[in-house]
Structure 1
Amino acid sequence: MDLLFRRYASPMILLDQVVSLGCLSKFVKDLMVIYSKEEEHRTAWDLYLHQDSLSESYSEFRRRIGLDDAIAAIDSEPNDEKEDLNGIIEKSKKTLKNFGLSGSHSQ
C-alpha cells in the first residue's frame, strides 16, 4: 500500500476501480515492475555518482555494468522503423493535400 500512497493522493479510489474491472493481479504486477525499474535506476545513479571518475556518460556506465543491454541492441539495429514512419507521414500529407470538401458553401 505504501507504494500507492507515494504515487497517488487517493489510492483507494484507484484500487476500487482496478478491483471492479477484475485486473488487480495485472495492476500489482505492473506496479512492481515499475517500482523495481525505478529502484534499479536510483541504485545505478548512486553508483555512477560515487565512482572514482566521471569520465563516461551515465548511459555508457549503465551499458558497461550490463543494465541497458536492450538499449545497446536497439542502438545497433537499423533504423527501418523511422523510415517507415516518415513514409506514412508523407503519404498522409499527400492525402490531406488532395482532400477537398464537397458541398462547401462559399459566400
Structure 2
Amino acid sequence: MLFKRYANPMIILEQMIRTQRFSEFINEFVRIQNEELEDRTQWEFWLHRVFDKSWAQFLEAVEGNSSGVEKMPTQDELEHTVMESKKIFSDFCLS
C-alpha cells in the first residue's frame, strides 16, 4: 500500500525510523487506509443496494447506528419481552 501512495516509500520510512516516529506513522497509515476502505465500501453499498435514500440520508443512518452505544431496555420492556416469550412457548404444540 505504501508504494501506491508514495513513489519511494523507503525515504519516508527511513525518516520516520530516524525520528523515532515509525510506530506512529504505521498506526496513522493503517487508520487512514481503514477509513478509506470503509468510505469506499459504504459508497459501493449505497450505489448498488440503497435506492430509497440519498447519500446524505444513508450516511446519517449509518453513522447513527455506529455510535456503539445501544439503549438498555427498561425493566418494563424486559418483563414484557419475557411474558411474550412465555406466551409463545406455552402456545407451542408439536402436533
TM over 0.5: yes
C-alpha displacement of 1:38 = 0.2
Q: What is residue 42 of structure 1 aligned with on the other side?
A: 40
Q: What is residue 80 of structure 2 aligned with on the other side?
A: none
- Structure 1: give runs of 5+ residues left out of the alignment: 71-107
Instruction: Give the letter aligned to residue 46 of structure 1.
Output: E
Q: What is residue 27 of structure 1 aligned with on the other side?
A: 25
The change in CA–CA distance for 1:44 and 1:52 in structure 2 (over 3 A counts) is closer
C-alpha displacement of 1:56 = 2.5
C-alpha displacement of 1:57 = 2.2
CA distance in 2 between counterparts of 1:68 and 1:7 reads 32
- Secondary structure in 2 aligned to 1:30? helix
CA distance in 2 between counterparts of 1:67 and 1:37 reads 17
The change in CA–CA distance for 1:19 and 1:34 in structure 2 (over 3 A counts) is same
- Secondary structure in 2 aligned to 1:66? helix
CA distance in 2 between counterparts of 1:17 and 1:4 reads 14
- Secondary structure in 1 aligned to 2:49? coil
Structure 1 stretches of at least 4 aligned residues deviating more than 4 Å after TM superposition: 67-70
The change in CA–CA distance for 1:30 and 1:37 in structure 2 (over 3 A counts) is same
Instruction: State the superposition RMSD in angstroms.
Output: 2.1
Given that residues 63 and 69 in structure 1 are in contact (C-alpha distance below 8 angstroms), is that contact kept between their aligned partners in structure 2?
A: no
C-alpha displacement of 1:67 = 6.7
Q: How many equivalent residue pairs?
A: 67
| Percent identical residues | 33
Q: What is residue 58 of structure 1 aligned with on the other side?
A: 55
- Structure 2: give runs of 5+ residues left out of the alignment: 68-95
